Amino acid sequence: MKHGLLICLLAISVNQSLLAQSSAEKEVLQFESDACKAFVDADAAALERVLTDDFTLTLSNGDISTRANEIDELRSGKVRYDVFENYDMNARLYGDSTAVVLGKTRVNGTSEGKPFDRVMQFTDTLVKRDGRWQVAAGAVRKIAFHEIGSSRRNAGPASTLKPS
Mean pLDDT per 10-residue section of the chain, whose length is 164 residues: 46 42 88 96 96 97 97 94 96 97 96 93 97 97 66 39 42
Q: Are 141 and 158 in contact (CB under 8 A)?
A: no
What is the structure's pLDDT at 10?
Answer: 40
| Reported pTM | 0.76
Exposure of 95 in the CB half-sphere (CA atoms within 13 A): 6
